[in-house]
Amino acid sequence: MQLKIVKADSSIEEYLHTKVVETFNNALSLIGNADTSPADELAEAVTYFLHNEQDADTVSSSDIFAMIKIVLSSAGHEDAASALNQRHLERQATRLMTEVLYADAQDIGDADIFSGPEGAPRRSQWDKSRIVADLIGKYDFFPQAARVIASMVEEKVIAMGMTSVPSSLVKQLVLNNAAAVMPAQEPFQTA
């Protein structure tokens, strides 16, 4: 039976060993360690434990994150575990400070929608799971492809440093990233 992951937004997806490897690679690179070869072995420890030492067929993403930090620390990479945790906390804070403005900003004359109280557009807190739900529900994307696109969009939004993001920009970022991911998804749709 395939191990299932319960994500922070309560969605469920299959466990992917490669995502754990990627997290270890990211943690090691956060401290400037160009040698990411230990990532495979460290990820094997997490995957082995999840498949052989636990009785449940589901695990939360936060439990996996905690395991990754413990394995890093136990293997002598306390600085990488600390950097990974710091990055995680910073991303959570950024998500909490970022909001989507349901407006179509097209030119400089629309700048007042970001600060003007009169006729201010509806706002909501940033939540990439909304992108995932739309891609799956409206456009029939596979859940993992939808998550990849949503993560790509979130990376760009965070990198821009914007705390108020117009929904029109989010739509453009989704379109751009979907165009990059769709060719990889198509062979699976015809199978």
Residue 25 corresponds to which tokens in the numbers above? 């690679």
Q: Which domain holds residue 121?
A: 99-190
State the total domains in the chain: 2
**What are the φ/ψ torsions at residue 119 (nearest 5 degrees)?**
65, 25
Same domain (yes/no): 145, 68: no
Domain co-membership, 125 together with 170: yes
Q: Which of 58, 79, 95 is the last residue of a domain?
A: 95
Cα separations (Å) of 144 from 58, 60, 147, 163? 17, 17, 5, 27
Q: Under a CB-based contact definition with an 8 Å cutoff, are residues 133 and 143 in contact? A: no
Q: What is the percentage of the chain residues whose pLDDT exceeds 70? A: 87
Whole-angstrom Cα distance, residue 171 to residue 155? 14
Same domain, 90 and 109: no
User: Based on the domain organization, do 31 and 71 belong to the same domain?
Assistant: yes
The answer to whether residues 150 and 82 belong to one domain is no
Question: Each residue of 109-161: pLDDT tens digit?
Answer: 666 666 655 556 688 999 999 999 999 999 999 888 898 999 999 999 999 99
pLDDT of 190 higher than 50: no
Last residue of a domain, one of 69, 95, 121: 95
φ, ψ for residue 135, nearest 5 deg: -65, -35
Last residue of a domain, which of 45, 70, 95? Answer: 95
- Do 88 and 170 fall into the same domain? no
